[in-house]
Amino acid sequence: MGSVKDIIVLKSPNGGMGEGIFEFSDRYSVFDYGEMPDKISGKGMSLCLISAYFFEKLEKIGIKTHYLGLVQENRVRSFDEIDSPTNKMKVKLVRVLRPNGRDYSIFSKERVNFLIPLEIIYRNKIPEGSSLLRRIASGEVKPEDFGLKEVKPNMKLEKPIVDFSTKLEDVDRYLSYGEAKRIAGLSDDEFERVKEIVLKVDDLITKEVSKAGLENEDGKIELAFDEKRNFMVIDAVGTPDECRFNYKGFEVSKEILRNYYRKTEWYEKIKSHKGKENWREIVGVPPKLTQEVKKVTSELYMALCNEITRKKFFDVPKLDSVVKELKELL
């Protein structure tokens, strides 16, 4: 399916809504590169369980999702029914329609049963590594575009803001509200509903992770239309790969891996060549993680799963201890 998940298709979505099984892997990706050279043990199961936890919470507050249950011992079970980890989730499948370059006209012609070609981003805070800071510095956007007087590092927002980027292009690009609405073929009412859904998801995640002492700085969701053109939250939600979490001032999400690579020569090549033709071949194979970083990052994913879901799936140190070790390493 992609760099971090595999999919078993049980029923193709081409003649109507389909069904399949997501297998969350221990692979990871940063900077749109694709599969990186290491695997993070326990990561796949952790993301699967956290996502299932949030999908079930969303369904309870009336937000439709494509989630059908966790798969364990060839049975589909709810989150509460399992006591040991799994990396398999049964989901509804939709069609993935492809734009022709930047021609998105197909999304205005089709009406139902497809992935909406947007990543929908919420921001509660503007951390140091936020792409919004880079875009404002380059003049690509202005604080006023988001109803703000200024934007500065580590600024906590009074109200969350919503941002959009492409989902199906080789290198994702940020979009104005008008362009996001246009390429996805959304009506004014549908576009407002998209913003409403992402803010409800944000609110739920923020409240839940705060119980584990985590701050939900920003995150993203993906949506699809079902067979009646109702929105569904799809893919994965509320995980440390979809969200940027902070624990006592320390980043505890995939941002750790990004920060690790930002100190390498390979990242300098990424900055120079990303987006050019054959840029992945030009930048070459990324360096591997050290064994220590790989071990503690693995423990971080599993500890986050234990703390967020409040269920001890993994025999790892508590989040506080893992973060202390990560601080020493990084």
Q: Over the stretch 130-167, which tens digit does the pLDDT of each residue have?
A: 889 989 988 888 899 888 989 989 899 999 999 999 99
Q: How confident is the model at residue 1 (pLDDT cuts 50, 70, 90)?
A: low
**How does pLDDT run across 190-237, given as a tens digit for each residue?**
999 999 999 999 999 999 999 999 999 999 999 999 999 999 999 999
pLDDT higher than 70, residue 254:
yes
Contact 190, 202 (CB under 8 A): no
State what percent of residues in the chain have pLDDT above 90.
79
- Average pLDDT (81-86) is 95
With cut-offs at 50, 70 and 90, classify the pLDDT of residue 76.
very high
Top-confidence range, 67-71, 254-258, 269-273, 288-292:
67-71
pTM: 0.93
Quickly tell me which residue has 């799994």 as its tokens: 86
Domain residue spans of the chain: 5-329
Classify residue 46 by burial, with Cβ atoms within 10 Å: 0-12, 13-18, 19+.
Answer: buried
- Residue 263 CA from chain centroid, whole number: 23
pLDDT at 2: 64
Strand residue runs (E) in the chain: 5-11, 18-24, 67-72, 75-77, 88-93, 114-115, 118-126, 155-166, 174-175, 214-225, 231-234, 243-247, 250-251
Residue 314 DSSP class: S
The count of residues in the chain is: 330
Beta strand spans in 127-248 (E): 155-166, 174-175, 214-225, 231-234, 243-247
Side chain identity at residue 27, one-letter code: R
pLDDT in tens, 168-183: 988 789 999 999 999 9
pLDDT at 129 exceeding the cut of 80: no
Mean of pLDDT over the chain: 94
CATH of domain 5-329: 3.30.470.20
